[in-house]
Chains A and B, each alone.
Chain A
Amino acid sequence: MRRIALTLAVLALPLFAFQAPPKKDPTKPATKPAATKPAATKGSTPAKAAPKPADATTAEAPAGPRVYVAPFKGIWGLDIHPELCQRFVDDIKAKKPDLIVFTLDSQDLKEGFYTAERNEDGTGFFDDDAQRRMLKLLDEELRGTPTMMWVQDSWGFSTLLAFAFKDMYMKPGARLDGLGRIAERYGVEDPQVLAKFREAVVAIANGFFEVGGYDIMIGRAMMRPELKLSASWKGRDLVWSPNADGTWLVDGSEKAFAGFKADVAVDLGLAKAEASDLDELMFLQGFREYQLVKSDGDPNLGAGEAIGDAWIKEWNRAFKDAEDKWNEAQTKLQLNAGKYADLAKRKYEEIVDILEKNDAAYTKWRMTRHPDLNQLKDQIEEWKQEQIARNKAKKDQGGSGAGGGGGRGFGTPGG
C-alpha cells in the first residue's frame, strides 16, 4: 500500500546535516507582510521598578538579593540540554534565590581571524520537542522567582532560547544570530513540500519568540533569507515591518538572514541594556550589592556554574569513554577479528550501557556517524552466537561449531 503522509518528515533529517544556508532564488517574488498583531515593542516600554531586597537596609542582613546565575554555555542540544535544565531547576528550587540570571554563550559560528568560522568543537542541533520541554521547565517550575537572560554571545539555534525571555540583557559585542540554521530543516526541492516544511518549522521555532513576547515577524526574518525586516517608531512604540520601508532597516536583503548585535538589539528594544559583567547587570536592576548563590561543594564557584561545568564534563566523559572503547575495539578487530571478538563484544556492551544512560553522549555519538544502539546490539548478538559456537566446539572437541542461517530476511525460503 502506498504510504500517504501528512508527516513533517523534515524534523527527522540527519543530525549531522549542518550545511550552508540555502541561497535565495532571485526569481521568487517578494513575500508578504505577516499579519501579526502590531508589535508592542519592549524597548520603548518604560523600565519597571527593579525588585528591592526585602531587608536591604537592615545592618545584620546580608547585603542585596541572592542571585543565582545559571550558565547555558557550549553546544546547543548537547552542552545546553534538558537534563542540565532539570538540574538547574532542582537546585534553584532548593536554594530559593531572589533572582535568577540565565546566561547564554553558544556559537555554531565563531569570529575567526579573517572571517567567521564554523565552531570546531561542534555545532548545535534542533530537537523542538526536547527544547520546548526545556522552556516549559524554566517557565512553569520557576514561576514566582524573577528571571532574566544575559546573552554573552549566541549564533545558532541557541538564539531561540534568548528570545524566550522577556527580560534580555546582552554583553557588549554579543550576537543574536544564526537562526538561518533553521533553513537546514526545510531544504527540499518540491515547492509545495518546501512551503509546508518551511512554514511549519519556522512557526515551531517562532514559539520561542512568542514565549518571550517578541513579534514573530522578527523570527521569520531571522529564519528566512528572502524576508526583509525594518522598524519604525509610532509614538513610543516600535512597529516592525516585513519590508525595507521602516525608519530603521534591519535586513534589506533578499538573500541574508536577519541578525542583531548587542547595540542594535538594545536600540530596537529587543534587549533592555548592555552589561559587561554581573556587577553592571545587577546595578542595572538597582542593586549596588548582591550575593551570588554559591555551590554547596565548592564555595569558590557559583552554584549554577558548578552544575553547568559538571554536566559538560559528565556527558563529554561519557562520550569519550564510549568512543575510546569503540576505537579500541576497532583497532583490535582490524588486527585479528577472530582473536579479539570477545574483547570487542565486551567493549560494545560497555558502549551500549554508557549511551543508554546518557542522552547527550548518544546524540553526539549519532552526530559523529557511529552505529546506532540497535546496530551495536545486533553485532553483540552475533558475537554472542559465535562465542556459543566456539564453546560448543571446544566442548565437543573438534565439533564443527558453525552457526547457521544468520542474517536471513523475512519471507525467504526456510533453511
Chain B
Amino acid sequence: MAPTQAPPREAESSVAETGASPKEAKSSGKKQVFVLPLEGMVGVQLRAKEMQALREIADEHGNGQIIILKINSNGGLVLETEAIQKALLGIRENHRLVAWIEKAISGGAFTAFYAQEIYFMKTGALGSITRISGGSPSKWIEEGAQDWEDGVARTCEIGGYSPYLGRAMVHYEDLLSYDRDPETGKVTFYPTLEGEFVLSDANENLCLNASNALACGFSKGTADTLDELLEEMGLQKGQYEISSKGVELFKKWKQTGERADAEVSKLIRQYRLGGTGTGDGIVVLRKRIDAIQKLIDLWKRAPEILQWERGVPPVEQLERELLSLQEQLKQAQDARKNGS
C-alpha cells in the first residue's frame, strides 16, 4: 500500500489498447505488445492453444513483436507441458517473450521458464514444481521423478536460467545457494550451500518471491501495473502499441469454459431427472437423448473442462450411451404404436 507521504504517481497508461490490423500496425512502424493472461489450471483453463493462436496473430505483424504471459496459476496437468513447450519455443523464434508473474506455482512456474525475461508483481510467487498425483491425499510420484527433475532443469536452461534453480523447485533434497560478485553483479549458483545466500536447503522446495527472485537475478524487475512493466522492460512510450488480441483470446476461452461448466451441471441434472415427472418413458428418453447430444457437443467445444474439471465420461462412452438411448426410444415408440 502507498505510504502516507508517497507522491501521486503518474497517470496510468496513456497508450490506448488497439485491435489494430497487421496492415495498420505495420504502417505505424510500432511494435505490438500482446498481453496473454494465463489463469487457472494448466491444461484446462491455461492452454497451449491460446499461446499458439497468439503466435499466429503476432506473426502477421512481422518479427520482433512483444508477447507478455501474465501468469496466475497454481499449476495443473503434466500432459500439457509438451504442447506449451512447442507453442512458446515457436513464439521465441520470432518474438520477444516475457513472463509476468502474479502467481506461478508448479506448472505455472514451468510455463514461465520458457520466457527469457521474467518479471514479478510484488505479490508474485514462483516455484514448487514437484510432480504429484491429482487424487486426495496427494502423493509424490516417485516413478520417473529423476527424469522429471532433469526435464525441469533442461527447461530452465532453455530460458537461460540455472538448472539448479529448477531442480531445487522439484525436490526438497536439492540444495541451492548463490554468490553475487560485488563489482560486476554476476550471480553464480551452486547446487550446495557454499554460496553466501542460501535459497533452498535440504528441507525446502524452492518457491521464490519478488524480492529474492530479484536479488538472485532470476527476475529482471518488479512491476505491478502494465505501465510499470513496460518501463522495466525498457520500452519507451510511443515505440509500441498495446494490442487487445491476447486478452480477447483469454476472455473467449474463459467464457467458453465458464459456460460449459454451468451447462454441464444443467445437462447432468436433465439427464438424471428430465421428464421423469411426466411418467412417460418416451419423454424421459427424449430428455436424456437431448442431454447426451448437448454434452457431446460441449465435448467438442470445451473438452478440457468436461474431462478434468467435471469428470464427464469420454465422448466415446457418451456416443455409445446415445446409441443405446436412441434404440430404447425406438423400441418404446414401436411398443406404444403396437399397443395403441
Q: Is B1 touching A139 in the complex (CB atoms < 8 A)? A: yes
Report Cα–Cα, A37/B328, bound state, in Å.
Answer: 71
Pair A6/B77 contact, Cβ less than 8 Å:
yes
Supposing A4-B77, A37-B212 touch, asked if A146 and B4 sit within 8 A by C-beta, the answer is yes
Which residues of chain B are near A211, meaning CB under 8 Å? 1, 122-123
Interface size class, chain A: 35 or more
On whether the beta carbons of B122 and A34 are closer than 8 Å, the reply is: no
Given contacts A35-B198, A99-B4, A399-B279, contact A199 B137 (CB under 8 A): no
B135 on the A face (CB < 8 A): yes
State A31–B175 Cα separation when bound (angstroms).
12
Across the interface, B203 reaches (CB within 8 A) one of A9, A102, A195, A384, namely: A195
Contact indicator B1/A212 (Cβ below 8 Å): yes
With A3-B133, A35-B178, A403-B276 as given contacts, are A411 and B317 in contact (CB-CB < 8 Å)? yes
**What separation, in Å, do the CA atoms of A6 and B128 have in the docked complex?**
9
* Chain B: CB-nearest residue to A39: B211
Do B172 and A191 touch (CB < 8 A)?
yes
Say how far A31's CB is from chain B's closest CB, in angstroms. Answer: 5
Query: Which one, B9, B75, B124, B224, contacts A7 given CB within 8 A?
Result: B75
Is A32 interfacial (CB 8 A cutoff)?
yes
Contact indicator A33/B42 (Cβ below 8 Å): no
Q: Which residue of A lies closest to B107 (CB)?
A: A6
List B contacts of A377 (CB < 8 A): 265, 269
B211 to A: closest C-beta gap in Å: 6
A385 interfacial contact with B, CB 8 Å: yes
A 71-112 to B, binary, CB cutoff 8 A, 1 in contact else 0 = 000000000000000000000000000010010000000000
Among B4, B277, B324, which residue has its beta carbon within 8 angstroms of that of A384? B277
B215 at the interface (CB under 8 A from A): yes
Residues of A124-171 at the interface with B, using a CB-CB cut-off of 8 Å, are 128-129, 132, 135-136, 138-140, 142-149, 164-167
Contacts of A9 in B (CB 8 A): 132, 134, 136, 138
Which of B79, B107, B215, B321 meets A411, CB within 8 Å?
B321
- Could you tell me if A188 and B138 are in contact, using CB atoms closer than 8 angstroms? yes
A5, A8, A198, A403: which contacts B78 (Cβ < 8 A)?
A5
B202 located at the interface, meaning its Cβ lies under 8 Å from any Cβ of chain A in the complex: yes
Q: Does B32 contact A (CB under 8 A)?
A: no
Cβ 8 A contact of B209, one of A33, A49, A210 = A210
| Most chain A beta carbons < 10 A, residue from B1, B140, B216 | B1
Decide if the interface of chain B is mainly helix, strand, loop or mixed: mixed
Tell me the smallest distance from the CB of B45 to a CB of chain A, in Å.
12
Q: 1/0 per position for B71-105, CB-CB distance to A under 8 A?
A: 01011111100000000000000000000001101
Residue of A48, A140, A144 near B5 (CB, 8 A) is: A48
29 contacts between A and B (CB under 8 A): A5-B75, A5-B133, A8-B105, A33-B198, A35-B212, A129-B103, A132-B102, A135-B1, A146-B2, A146-B5, A148-B3, A167-B4, A190-B132, A190-B140, A192-B130, A192-B140, A196-B130, A196-B205, A199-B205, A199-B206, A200-B106, A208-B123, A210-B122, A211-B123, A215-B211, A378-B273, A389-B278, A404-B279, A414-B328
Chain A residues in contact with chain B, CB under 8 A? 2-11, 28-29, 31-37, 48-51, 99, 102, 128-129, 132, 135-136, 138-140, 142-149, 164-167, 188-193, 195-200, 202-204, 206-208, 210-212, 215-216, 285, 374, 377-378, 381-382, 384-389, 392-393, 399-408, 410-411, 413-415
> Across chains A and B, which 3 residue pairs bring their CB atoms closest together, nearest first?
A388-B277, A207-B123, A35-B197
- Tell me the B residues contacting A by CB distance below 8 Å: 1-6, 8-9, 41-42, 72, 74-79, 102-103, 105-107, 110, 121-141, 171-172, 177-178, 193, 197-212, 214-216, 224-225, 265, 269, 271-281, 284-285, 308, 313, 317-318, 320-321, 324-325, 327-328
